[in-house]
Amino acid sequence: MSFENQIVLITGASSGIGRCLAIDFAKAGAVVIGCGRSRDRLDSMLEEIRPVSRSSMAIPCDVGTREHVQSMVTKVLEEFGNIDILINNAGIGMRKPFVETSLETVEEIMRTNYLGMIYCIHAVLPSMMVRRSGHIVNVSSIAGIAGFLNIGAYCASKFAINGFSESLYYELKPY
């Protein structure tokens, strides 16, 4: 698959897997739009990929906030006309017994890991369907197919990602 001049939106691009994906896609000729919550880390990622992908950009965005996602996607569509590949990679986790985990923490994990993916797909999908072109990649974890000690909320968010992804696959198969 050629990524030359493909517009690739990567959430959680400021560190870890997302940063590595941003660098690899840029080296493969893609225009990378990296988003994340840390402006400093996004700027660092952008510095690394700009020599090979001059049009790439970084957009600070909390994917757990629907309005932030819609604003980001609108900006990308206005600037580039389309999004060829959406990689939902943003995620947070924590290791603590459930009984010691605040409900606010559980909500934050679900908002970032699961709802952030939902918000991004919902914002990007209509333009992909009109063009009958595009790819969506939802990054999950082994914790999405098996439960593990002290990461119940994280496991739940990844199970949700897997279930939604499978369902969406069948829904979008005609496209």
Catalytic residue among 119, 154, 169, 170: 154
Let me know if 154 is a catalytic residue.
Answer: yes
CA distances from 106 to 10, 19, 100, 101 (A): 24, 25, 11, 7
108 CB-contact burial (10 Å; exposed 0-12 / middle 13-18 / buried 19+): middle
Dist CA 87 CA 150 (whole Å): 27
CA 75 to chain centre: 16
Q: Which residue, 17, 19, 15, is CA-closest to 32?
A: 19
DSSP H stretches of helix in the chain: 16-27, 39-49, 66-80, 103-109, 116-131, 152-172
> Is 137 strand, coil or helix?
strand
CA dist., res. 159 & res. 161, Å (int): 5
Which residues are tagged catalytic? Answer: 154
